[in-house]
Amino acid sequence: MTVCFDQSVQDPQLVDNKNHCNTHELVLEEGFMVPHHNVGTGGFDAPEINAFGHTFRDYDVESERQKQVEEFYRMNHIYQTYDYVKKMREEYKKLDKLEMSIWECCELLNEVVDESDPDLDEPQIEHLLQTAEAIRKDYPDEDWLHLTALIHDLGKVLLLPRFGELPQWAVVGDTHPLGCAFDDSIVHHKYFKENPDMNNPAYQTKNGIYSEGCGLENVMISWGHDDYMYLVAKENGTTLPQAGLFIIRYHSFYPLHRSGAYKHLMNEEDAENLKWLQIFNKYDLYSKSKVRVDVEKVKPYYMSLIAKYFPEKLRW
């Protein structure tokens, strides 16, 4: 089944204002309309159901895909420990795997499918372009946000042999801090029972090894595509604003940006950046659909943004 965005939203008159509530809706070819409601951020009209006919981020619904997603989180919660994250950060900070451009990396995502995602089973390049195009319609002047959206999930290349072929539990899914208590809002929380960090008394309190307001930068967050892409962008000298880097680094940290957990670890700068992350999240989540973006048509625009904010070749 094919779905398409109503083209009228491309009329610049309709998109010139952030608060403007645009009229786009998803129209499925069989004449079936996906219901939408306005989620109240940036006027983005979010669909109520995902491509599988369920509400978004429903981790309890009975389905085959759900079982796979639950098994994913079981592994993720058992194997992601404080020491593991520390080791991975050190290893990947070397950026000694290969050299390539941002666009070359986007193309590699053609081969990547994310097993943690209950809302999407398309190759990841579709998701990158859908997110970027959706946010571009509502925030036409924030070109850094368009590029942030395009690259936010590039870290998923960690699944590929050239990048170490990490298991899914070490690359995708929501993220959470290590070194302090696991918050109840974390998806499939029950599986932490078998995590070795549960045996370390220093990690069992609200602050754990951290102090209130210490800043997220000082917190170990479970290892995956967020932190890796943040490292790549930063170490290669991107000129993206801080908010862009923050979005990349914490976009899977749903316990924070959705549930408000761990806010006591943020500093003032984090609180400012969080506002942009919350805007971004609507697009990341609700633009997931069977809509195909015409890659060749939009490529020149994104190439110009890449040239503006990144060197031609990056170390990965």
Site for Fe ion in 63-102 (CB under 5 A): none
CA distance 142 to 98: 30
Shortest separation between residue 117's beta carbon and ligand INS, angstroms: 3
208/256 with CB nearer Fe ion: 256
30/60 with CB nearer ligand INS: 60
Burial degree of 7 (CB within 10 A; 0-12, 13-18, 19+): exposed
57 is in an annotated binding site: yes
117/133 with CB nearer ligand INS: 117
Binding region for ligand INS (CB under 6 A): 114, 116-117, 153, 172-174, 251-252, 254
Identify the residue among 45, 133, 142, 153 touching Fe ion (CB under 5 A). 153
Structure tokens that stand for 105 in this block? 């990396």
Contacts of residue 248, defined as CB under 8 A and 6 or more positions apart, other chains included, come to 148, 151, 152, 226, 229, 230, 233
Residue 114 binds which of Fe ion, ligand INS, none (CB < 5-8 A, kind-dependent): ligand INS
Q: What is the largest CA-CA distance in the chain?
A: 59
Of 19-27, 153-161, 239-247, 298-306, the segment contacting Fe ion by CB under 5 A is: 153-161
Site for Fe ion in 269-308 (CB under 5 A): 284
Residue 115 binds which of ligand INS, Fe ion, none (CB < 5-8 A, kind-dependent): none
Structure tokens that stand for 243 in this block? 């908010």
What does each C-alpha distance from 303 to 150, 155, 236, 311 come to in angstroms? 11, 19, 17, 12
Q: Which residues bind Fe ion (CB under 5 A)?
A: 153, 284
